Structure 1
Amino acid sequence: MLNYKIPKKWLILVTVALISALLLAIASSASSIYLYGSSTNNIKADAAIVLGAAVWGEEPSPVFRERINHAINLYKNGSVKTIIFTGGVGETNEPAEAIVGKNYALAQQVKAADIFTETQSRTTHQNLKNALEVANAHQLTKFLIVSDPLHMKRSVLMAQGLGMDAHSSPTPTTRYRSFHSQMEFLSRETYFYFVYLVFKI
């Protein structure tokens, strides 16, 4: 039996090639996430699904408020008929994110009959899964997913993975404005994008 030993230089070359391929995949995914969030759809749908974000007491955080305002604009210009707010309780002394979103929308003259909520979710996948259950109960079948631009690709991919007729509707403005905050968000989204591709969660 031949005892063939792979030359060290070939091991180094293979390692470098694998690392380079991984870095290229990461860079390509990050770029596609960034570009995907910069495109908008002029599509009419049954509902806007607003993905939850932090609340500050009884008020939405600036990030959440951007999402709510965008959904309200979609509702008022006739792009959607209803709004589904998602998100459960973050801190125990705070109301559910969805309830804060609903109250904010009511104050902006959105009809109560056109607002639905789910208050149990803690993750993006749960946001969408629970929103789908609400939608099914009200015969809603076509959706605009509302979130920050860098959050859109993973969110829509998840929604479509659940069998939803879902389309992206990123907020036209974002609280992640500085280069540092955008890169931090993009890095996090790229990581979770790969996690979803592998584990579907």
Structure 2
Amino acid sequence: MTLEAELPEPRDEDHGPDEPAEQPRGRRGRSPWVTIPAGVVLGLLLIAVLTPLTVGARVWYQARQDERPRSDAIIVLGAAQYNGEPSPTLRWRLQHALDLYRDGVAPAIVTVGGKAPGDNYTEAGSGRTWLIEKGGVPADRVVAVPVGRDTLGSLRAAGAEFDRRGWSSAVIVSDPWHGLRAKKMAADHGIEAAASPTRSGPSVQTRETQFDYIVRETGAYLSYVLLGKSVQVPNETIRRINIDPSVAPSGAPSDPQPSR
């Protein structure tokens, strides 16, 4: 006679202390050290992609705004000058500032910008002279701040001048793609700034040129916000040789690179 008995399945506690319990097949546990780094990497990739795209969109949007609130002064950002004569880019900016002044946007104009090595005149001084002699603006309504070879240096000096005069607000005149960065730098130096860009010049000539300027300004803006530095993009430092006899003195190059 044979007896058949059903033996109970072994439980975890039936294993010895040195005997690991057998896990069910196909149900291995996932280590959190695999999931967490993957999520971090994905998040960093999203930030790396979305941040420049977001800033680029803001540069593009700001470039299409023409802000003209009543302000204490109009700030004309510097561009090249040749022996005291404004380059085409600087002249476009000065003319736009003159139009704003005549429209009553502000009772004063501030020109900014120092001089390159070897120059006899500053950008700010050349702009002030043009506004007085060619634009007919009273001399006591034009303030020259001849400091800075980049946007940050010029707006830092302009902020100090605004403090000295008790001013707090300004409309910045520059190229369209430059507006977002210029407003941020001005705000960081105590100026409540708006931007009214010029609509003339090489920065708005073709779609390819516009895209190039947006990419440059996106990088420059991120460099300033993240590192506190004013990166001199190529159009801030390089002058292409291109004779413009109607504006520049004989033998002097024109300035097709507008932003600073």
State the Cα deviation string for residues 105-152 of structure 1 (Å, max 9, x = none).
112101111000111211111111111222233332221111111000
Given the alignment of the two structures, is residue 62 of structure 1 paired with residue 106 of structure 2, yes or no? no
Q: Secondary structure at the match of 1:78?
A: coil
Given the superposition, is the C-alpha separation of residues 82 and 152 from structure 1 closer, same or farther in structure 2, using an over 3 Å criterion?
same
Given the alignment of the two structures, is residue 194 of structure 1 paired with residue 228 of structure 2, yes or no? no
Given the alignment of the two structures, is residue 28 of structure 1 paired with residue 60 of structure 2, yes or no? no
- Aligned twin of 1:104: 130
State the Cα deviation string for residues 68-123 of structure 1 (Å, max 9, x = none).
11111111111110000000002413410001111111121011110001112111
Counterpart of 1:121, as a letter, is G
In structure 1, list runs of 5 or more residues that go unmatched. none
User: Which stretch shifts more, 140-149 or 110-119?
Assistant: 140-149
1:45 to 71, 74, 79: 71
Q: Secondary structure at the match of 1:29?
A: helix
Report if aligned partners of 1:62, 1:175 keep a CA contact under 8 Å in 2.
no
Given the superposition, is the C-alpha separation of residues 183 and 57 from structure 1 closer, same or farther in structure 2, using an over 3 Å criterion?
farther
Distance in 2 (alpha carbons) for counterparts of 1:168 and 1:152: 6
Counterpart of 1:102, as a letter, is R
Larger Rg: 2
1:146 to 169, 173, 177: 173
- Aligned twin of 1:92: 118
Distance in 1 (alpha carbons) for counterparts of 2:110 and 2:97: 9
Q: Percent identity?
A: 28
Counterpart of 1:135, as a letter, is F
1:185 positional shift:
1.7
Structure with the higher fraction of residues in helix conformation: 1
Report if aligned partners of 1:46, 1:81 keep a CA contact under 8 Å in 2.
yes
State the Cα deviation string for residues 3-48 of structure 1 (Å, max 9, x = none).
x8x77xx988975764454122212211111111111223111100
- Aligned twin of 2:147: 120
Distance in 2 (alpha carbons) for counterparts of 1:89 and 1:141: 26
Distance in 1 (alpha carbons) for counterparts of 2:120 and 2:64: 33
- Aligned twin of 2:186: 159
User: Which stretch shifts more, 38-47 or 109-118?
Assistant: 38-47
Report if aligned partners of 2:68, 2:194 keep a CA contact under 8 Å in 1.
no
Q: Secondary structure at the match of 1:170?
A: coil
Q: TM-score, normalised by structure 2?
A: 0.68
In structure 2, list runs of 5 or more residues that go unmatched. 1-30, 230-260
| Aligned length, in residue pairs | 197
Structure with the higher fraction of residues in strand conformation: 1
Larger relative contact order (C-alpha < 8 A, sep ≥ 6)? 1
Given the superposition, is the C-alpha separation of residues 142 and 21 from structure 1 closer, same or farther in structure 2, using an over 3 Å criterion?
closer
Shift >4 Å, 4+ stretches: 10-17
